[in-house]
Amino acid sequence: MLKAHGFSQSDAYNGLEVRLRKQLGAMRVEVRFQALEPRLESAKALKLDWDRDMLEAAKELAKRRADWKKRGLTSDAILEIEYKPHGFQPADRVPVRTPFAVIVTDNEGKGLIFDCSTKNGAMRVERVTFSRKVDKLLNIETAASGPRNVYAGPELLNQGKKAMREGLEEYLDGLGVKAELIEYIEKCAERRMNTLYVEWLEKLRMIVNKKVDITNKRSY
């Protein structure tokens, strides 16, 4: 799907952030989003059990990764696979707002940072920041992470800015940020969270389950 829309994918911050890039003549288009944080209601809905389900989920993840590596699958191809490891088959999940940013820059480094969100496949542009040095600004804070040291434009979600917001969303659609890509962002953000969450739980369990010899005390 990404190749069909001209995007390539890379990761940053140890897999916490996903970046999609494409070149349109002198303009560079980049989409950034992060793994969704685990939510208490999700854990309750999934009925996860620490000792059994999470260990099984970690084993299943390891098996799947070995299979993906053996088959030479790329991250794009993996995402297209129906990915439901044991313990991750939620029912009646409440839709989650997924924040993301679209960065559009010219060959001089000037450009716009669109702070956006999506929920149930519906994209909304919330703010747009202009900068003469976009890359320098993004080095200060990751995209879509909050206020920056420049004017970030008006809040576009109120009714009075509807026409402006819809015009900007149409502009992004013309750059390739279409419904299929929005759906990809939602699924990828949640699946990335699931993967990172399982890995974190297994690492935590590995340390917590280690026996500590409290009889061998040292004096300093």
pLDDT digits (tens, 9 = 90+) for 183-193: 999 888 888 88
User: Which token pair is 121?
Assistant: 């496949």
| 135 or 101: which leads in pLDDT | 101
- Give the sheet arrangement for strand 27-34, strand by strand: 8-12, 17-24, 27-34, 98-105, 111-119, 122-131
Q: Which of 93-97, 129-133, 148-152 has the highest mean pLDDT?
A: 129-133
DSSP classification of residue 184:
H
Q: Is 194 helix (H, G, I), strand (E, B) or coil?
A: helix
Q: Is 20 helix (H, G, I), strand (E, B) or coil?
A: strand
pLDDT bin (cut points 50, 70, 90) of residue 82 is very low
Return d(Cα 3, Cα 9) in angstroms, integer. 10
Write the pLDDT tens digit of every residue in 202-213.
Answer: 888 888 777 655
Per the document, the length of the chain is: 220
Instruction: Provide the pLDDT for residue 200.
Output: 83
pLDDT bin (cut points 50, 70, 90) of residue 12 is confident
User: Which token pair is 137?
Assistant: 């600004």
Mean pLDDT of 135-157: 67
- Statement: residue 74 has pLDDT above 70: no
Mind listing the domains of the chain with CATH numbers? 3-206 (3.10.280.10)
Residue in 174, 184, 115 with CA at minimum distance from that of residue 144: 115
Instruction: Provide the pLDDT for residue 89.
Output: 41
Instruction: Provide the pLDDT for residue 55.
Output: 60
Least confident range from 20-34, 61-75, 114-128, 169-183: namely: 61-75
Instruction: Provide the pLDDT for residue 83.
Output: 43
Instruction: Provide the pLDDT for residue 21.
Output: 92
Instruction: Provide the pLDDT for residue 86.
Output: 38
Instruction: Provide the pLDDT for residue 217.
Output: 54
Return d(Cα 26, Cα 105) in angstroms, integer. 8
The percent of residues above 70 in pLDDT, for the chain, comes to 68
Q: Are 34 and 96 in contact (CB under 8 A)?
A: no
Mean pLDDT of 63-82: 63
Write the pLDDT tens digit of every residue in 27-63.
Answer: 999 999 988 765 544 444 444 444 455 566 666 667 7
Least confident range from 63-67, 100-104, 118-122, 154-158: namely: 63-67
Instruction: Provide the pLDDT for residue 190.
Output: 83
Q: Are 20 and 31 in contact (CB under 8 A)?
A: yes
State in Å, rounded, how far the first CA of the chain is from the last one: 60
Beta bridge partners of 34: 17
